[in-house]
Amino acid sequence: MRKTIIAGNWKMYKTITEAIELANGLKREFFKLDFAAVDVVLCPAFTALSEVAEVLTETEIGLGAQDIYWQEEGAFTGEVSPLMIKDAGCQYAIIGHSERRQFFGESNETVNKKIKAALKSGIIPIVCVGENLQEREANKTFKVVEDHINNGLAGVDVSDIANLIIAYEPVWAIGTGKTATPDQAQEVHKFIRDLLKKNYGQDVSDNIRIQYGGSVKPENIMQLMERPDVDGALVGGASLKVDSFSAIVTKASEVVK
């Protein structure tokens, strides 16, 4: 049995004051949430991490950063290390988000270094993979996802693999309102699970959690979650409001598989 995990990627939204307000609102909404049924993670901008961590003290809500650098410290202007986000209160880090691949030169090689650095510091990586529209239309979805997984995870210790989280985010579904159908999501999630089974064996493949991301909303979370290989969601736009994010989390927590 894999525990459902819903993460909110706040991207480059929310000042510190706004982030505290959103975190407080969610904390109130999740007061009665059954955390045995779902893991919840908030991923604010770096500037708001410490303050949001403060709000989340003594709750079961997790905290994640949206990126990290792979060095522990040094002359790397503008970068933030795994130890620094851990110090700010994080347990998770999103790594290899398609926006970073698209706009900031992130590659499978840098993703690989970041995953290893995160694991070394006890941070759980949420590793993003997924094809863009051109790749999907050229029938390259499986090839792209396979490259992201095989190269991104190259050399990572098998014992660490089951602890990380994979987020399948088809780029054409991000911020477009165009969600992958539950069948499309399931098809790729199953492909990823089978690939992990081939690479790391049955146990890892049975236990690793695979989130879906791309225009997840309260209206579509149930149908997505009902698919056997969809273990949660990485939510962008709908994670920025208390009502929509808490509805997604609550609905996801109620799906029994």
Residues making contact with ligand 13P (CB under 6 A): 9, 97, 169, 174-175, 213-216, 234-238
**Closest residue (Cβ) to ligand 13P?**
236
Selected catalytic residue, list 79, 97, 189, 226: 97
| Of the candidates 165, 11, 183, the residue with the CA atom closest to the CA atom of residue 102 | 11
Reference 35, options 236, 250, 211; nearest CA is 250
Which residues pair with residue 122 across a beta bridge?
none
Nearer to ligand 13P, 102 or 134 (CB): 102
Least distance CB 217 / ligand 13P (angstroms): 8
- Nearer to ligand 13P among residue 40 and residue 204 (C-beta): 40
CB of 84 to ligand 13P, least distance (A): 21
Q: Are 116 and 68 in contact (CB under 8 A)?
A: no
Phi/psi at 165 (5° precision): -120, 135
Q: Choose between 82 and 213: whose C-beta lies nearer to ligand 13P.
A: 213
**Measured from the CB of residue 36, what is the shortest distance to ligand 13P in angstroms?**
25
Least distance to ligand 13P from the beta carbon of 191, Å? 20
Question: Looking at beta carbons only, is 44 or 237 nearer to ligand 13P?
Answer: 237
Out of 131, 135, 169, 189, which one is annotated catalytic?
169
Q: Are 26 and 246 in contact (CB under 8 A)?
A: yes
In the complex with ligand 13P, which residue's Cβ is closer, 12 or 256? 12
Where do the H-state alpha helices sit in the chain? 16-29, 49-56, 82-87, 98-103, 108-120, 133-137, 141-152, 158-161, 182-200, 202-207, 221-225, 242-254
Place of tokens 């499986």: 142
Q: How far is the CB of 175 from ligand 13P (least distance, A)?
A: 4
Work out the widest C-alpha separation in the chain, in whole angstroms.
49
Q: Is 169 one of the annotated active-site residues of the chain?
A: yes
Contacts of 108 (CB under 8 A, 6+ apart): 96, 147, 148, 151, 152
Give the residue numbers marked as catalytic. Answer: 97, 169
